Amino acid sequence: MSADTTTPAKVPPPRQAPPPPLLDAPPGKRPSSGAGTPWLLLAPCLGILALVLGYPLVRLVTLSFQEFGQSQLWGFKQAESVGFDNFTKVLGDSEFWAVVVRTIVFAAGCVIFTMVAGMLIALLLQRVSGWVKILVNIALVASWGMPIIVATTVFKWLFDADYGILNALLSKLPGVEMIGHNWFASGPQGLAVIMLLVVWGAVPFVVITLSAGLTQVPKEMEEAARLDGAGAWGVFRYVTLPILKPIIVMLTTLSVIWDMGVFPQVFVMRNGHPEAEFQLLTTYSYDRAFVVNDYAQGSAIALLTVVLLLGVVAVYMRQMLKIGDVE
Amino acid sequence: MSTIATSGRSGGKIAASGRGRRKSGRLGWNLLGLLVFVTAGFPVYWMLNTAFKPAADAIDPDPSLLPTALTLSNFGRALDIADFWGPVGRSLIVSLAVVVIGMAVGLLAALAISRFAFRGRKIVIVGILAVQMVPLVAMIIPVFLLLNDLGQYDRLTGLIITYLTFILPFTVWTLRGFIVNIPKELEEAAMVDGCSRTGAFVRVVFPLLAPGMVATSVYGFIQAWNEYLYALMLLSQKNQTATVWLGNFTTKHGTEYAPMMAGSTMMAVPIVVLFLLVQRKMAAGLTAGAVKG
């Protein structure tokens, strides 16, 4: 390159050039920061995840195809492969199917109540005065921030048979005598209380996320719809809902995943020994592994739970990747 | 804050355009809002109420909804029932270690997936997202066996390693969200002015990222602090953490509710305060760009 050709050309290029250095540096200039750097940065993270998540995940799969009980745990016997035995045993057990149905009904109830209540409260917050909104936000954030174990403990106290405040309040209603009523005597009623606990803890996240989304709904569009004769429901159905759809999909899938994985609430509420009527897939798998000491069957049940969730996870991931693409 | 401010403004617009018709409607909405406030807040209120009232009043068959006498004796009893500071210390060690390791390792990974274009980037992102979706409960059996094999059962180090499974993907994903919100042009400008790439990061990106990092750390800390199942399964009674400690109030002879609520209060108040501090920033980070999609 001679001096007289570069001088006129040299000034403009840097103006347009700045962006490249970050993403694709010129090949000869900085070979070290080429393909290797990102992988170097990722290495510790991927390494840890492979050890604490990858390996156990593989082990979960292999375990479910083995015989693995107390004697294998202590090393008296080698774990032997038994093919699909664990799965046939689990799938052939009518109790398993009862647990599956119960888990799905429970999770569906949690998700529906959470989303509906969350949406209603988010819409309500748009219509109340500022001070009411602040009060509601404080209550929501406080209940969101409560550790699950503490929340469960508090609900146990609220619903206590003899001294629980709920029974005392209900008994004040004319003709209702609830003192001494044990909410956990029957599975459905007890699970309803646990559902309430889950919903109470999950609604704040939904409300706050949806409220943030609602502020992004253009007021002009709502007004335009109203001018065209849409009622409150019409505006919601044809303007608000479509705009919020990505958030709603994300929240719903997340809720499904979380509510299918409910464990401590049931476990602590039943003092560490959930009765048969209270078993959900998570506690059932735990029970098989650590109470019956059949680790292989427990793993098979856990694996079936994961498989059951795969469809939901796929929807969630698509949504998240769409968001990722925008940036 | 931004949520409140913006919707408050839009609410004002409606009121201005609707005038009197809206005003009467608002009273009804406010009452409904207060109902939500009371319902959502009641469990927290009742926890505090029970914690500070004399234990005898707590088992009154006709309990008073308002505070009766104020006492701290339940807290004393809660501290007596089982060692409190040991479990709290262990929870602190575990949570802090998890956050420090998670942030150091997670930040590098977040940088890699947000600031570099490389083959396989998308697979890594999908992987990290997917990993977050694995229900932790499903992993307890193999993790238990793994730690058993490694001789890490009943050791805090074992619990720390385990907690990284859920802190790390979360940290990477959230930090990524904060990093992509920092304009690349700032870094580029610094590099044009002669900074090295590392220099540009340390002097330009890092200061801007600091608030996001603090929020992510606090949030991760809370998650680690609150974890129950693994703490219960991987540590013996003598090494229990704070969440497991709360189970000590229920014995064969029944449950001591008033001290239990005092214990709950001691567990919850610091966490709720921490949570209040970072909640807004996290909510913004989690859903950044969600509407655009």
Nearest alpha-carbon partner for B292 in A122, A327, A223, A115? A327
B135/A146 CB distance under 8 A: no
- Amino acid symbol at B15: A
Tell me: the pLDDT tens digits for B236-260? 888 888 888 887 777 666 677 888 8
Interface mutation vs chain B, best among A113, A154, A253, most B CBs within 10 Å: A154
Domain boundaries, chain A: 66-326
**Per-residue pLDDT at B4 exceeds 90:** no
pLDDT profile of chain A (327 residues), mean per 10: 39 37 42 69 88 87 84 75 83 90 94 95 90 90 86 90 84 79 86 94 90 85 87 88 88 88 89 87 89 87 88 80 58
B185 with B252, same domain? yes
B26 with B129, same domain? no
User: Mean of the pLDDT values across residues B79-90?
Assistant: 85
Q: What are the chain A neighbours of B131 within 8 Å (beta carbons)? A: 49, 53
By three-state DSSP, how is residue A234 classified? helix
B83 with B37, same domain? no
What is the distance, to the nearest Å, from the Cα of residue B25 to the centroid of all Cα atoms in its chain? 37
Identify whether B71 is part of a domain. no
Work out the end-to-end distance of chain A between its first and last CA atoms, rounded to an integer number of angstroms.
39
pLDDT of the residue at A326: 42
State which residues form the domain around B248.
Answer: 78-283
B17 with B97, same domain? no
Nearest-CA distance B77 → chain A (Å): 17
Residues 6+ apart with CB under 8 A from B282: B174, B215, B216, B219
d(CA B159, CA B258) in angstroms, rounded, equals 31
B45 with B84, same domain? no
Q: What are the chain B neighbours of A86 within 8 Å (beta carbons)? A: none
Q: Out of A165, A204, A302, whose CB is closest to B63?
A: A165
B100 with B240, same domain? yes
Looking at residue B97, which CATH number applies to its domain? Answer: 1.10.3720.10
Q: For residues A97 and A324, is the Cβ–Cβ distance under 8 A?
A: no
By three-state DSSP, how is residue A67 classified? strand
B 71-100 near A (Cβ less than 8 A): none
* CATH architecture group of domain A66-326: Orthogonal Bundle (1.10)
Tokens (6 digits) for A62: 């292999």
B185 with B231, same domain? yes
B102 with B32, same domain? no
A136/B113 CB distance under 8 A: no
pLDDT of the residue at A118: 94
Tokens (6 digits) for B51: 């914690």
Identify whether B192 is part of a domain. yes
pLDDT of the residue at B13: 43
pLDDT of the residue at A155: 92
Q: Out of A57, A146, A219, whose CB is closest to B268?
A: A146
d(CA B158, CA B3) in angstroms, rounded, equals 41
pLDDT of the residue at B210: 85
Q: For residues B128 and A286, is the Cβ–Cβ distance under 8 A?
A: no
| Burial status of residue A161 (CB atoms within 10 A of its CB: 0-12, 13-18, 19 or more) | middle
Count of domains for chain B: 2
B22 with B153, same domain? no
Identify whether B64 is part of a domain. no
pLDDT of the residue at A34: 59
B112/A136 CB distance under 8 A: no
d(CA A114, CA A224) in angstroms, rounded, equals 31
pLDDT of the residue at A4: 42
Nearest-CA distance B181 → chain A (Å): 9
Identify whether B145 is part of a domain. yes
Q: Are strands B254-255 and B250-251 parallel, antiparallel or unpaired?
A: antiparallel
pLDDT of the residue at A222: 86
Does A5 reach chain B within 8 Å, measured CB to CB?
A: no
Identify whether B108 is part of a domain. yes
d(CA A69, CA A295) in angstroms, rounded, equals 6
Identify whether B62 is part of a domain. no
User: Mean of the pLDDT values across residues B197-208?
Assistant: 84
pLDDT of the residue at B21: 53
d(CA A113, CA B174) in angstroms, rounded, equals 27
Does A272 reach chain B within 8 Å, measured CB to CB?
A: yes
Q: How many CB atoms lie within 10 A of CB B240?
A: 21
Residue B125's pLDDT band (cuts 50, 70, 90):
confident
